[in-house]
C-alpha cells in the first residue's frame, strides 16, 4: 500500500506516518523501484494501535514500550496491565489538579465584579501564582 492509502485507512495524516518512521515507532517500509514507500497491511494496525494508545493518554515513548511488549509472547499481559495502572494513577493526579484549577478559577470569577476598574482575574494571572481558597487548605 502507498502512504496515502495507509493514512486514510489509519485515519492519520501522511506527515504523522513519516514522523513515526523517523522516531522508530514504525519501521521504514520497503521502497518500490520508483522510490515510493510500500507499506504492509500490518502498518495500518500498528498506526491504529498508536492512535488509540494516544487517546488513552499514553505518550509516544510509552507507546514505543507497549509496541515492544506487543511483539513479545511471554508474560506480556501483566506488564501491560502494570503500565495501564500507572497511567490510571497519572490520570487521577491530572483530574485532581484540574479540579483544583477549576475551584481557583471559580473563586476568581466570583471575586471579579463587572464594575471594577481592575479585573481580579487578570490581576491574579499577572501575579504568576495560583492563589485562592485552596492555598489555605
| CA neighbor of 46 nearest in space, from 66, 75, 72, 76 | 66
Q: Give the global pTM.
A: 0.76
66-120 pLDDT tens trace: 999 998 877 789 999 999 999 999 999 999 999 999 998 888 888 877 666 778 7
**Gyration radius of the chain's alpha carbons:** 23
Q: Which residues contact 46 (CB under 8 A, 6 or more apart)?
A: 25, 26, 67
**How many helices (DSSP H) and strands (DSSP E) are in the chain?**
6, 2
Amino acid at each position: 500500500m502507498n502512504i496515502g492509502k495507509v493514512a486514510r485507512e489509519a485515519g492519520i495524516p501522511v506527515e504523522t506516518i513519516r514522523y513515526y518512521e523517523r522516531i522508530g515507532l514504525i519501521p521504514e517500509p520497503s521502497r518500490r523501484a520508483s522510490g515510493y514507500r510500500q507499506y504492509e497491511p500490518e502498518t495500518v494496525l500498528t498506526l491504529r494501535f498508536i492512535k488509540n494508545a494516544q487517546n488513552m493518554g499514553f505518550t509516544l515513548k510509552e507507546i514505543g514500550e507497549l509496541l515492544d511488549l506487543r511483539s513479545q509472547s511471554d508474560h506480556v499481559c501483566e506488564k501491560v496491565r502494570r503500565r495501564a495502572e500507572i497511567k490510571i494513577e497519572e490520570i487521577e493526579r491530572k483530574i485532581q489538579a484540574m479540579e483544583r484549577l477549576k475551584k481557583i478559577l471559580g473563586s476568581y470569577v466570583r471575586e471579579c465584579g463587572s464594575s471594577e476598574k481592575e479585573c481580579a482575574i487578570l490581576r491574579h494571572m499577572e501575579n504568576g501564582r495560583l492563589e485562592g481558597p485552596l492555598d489555605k487548605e
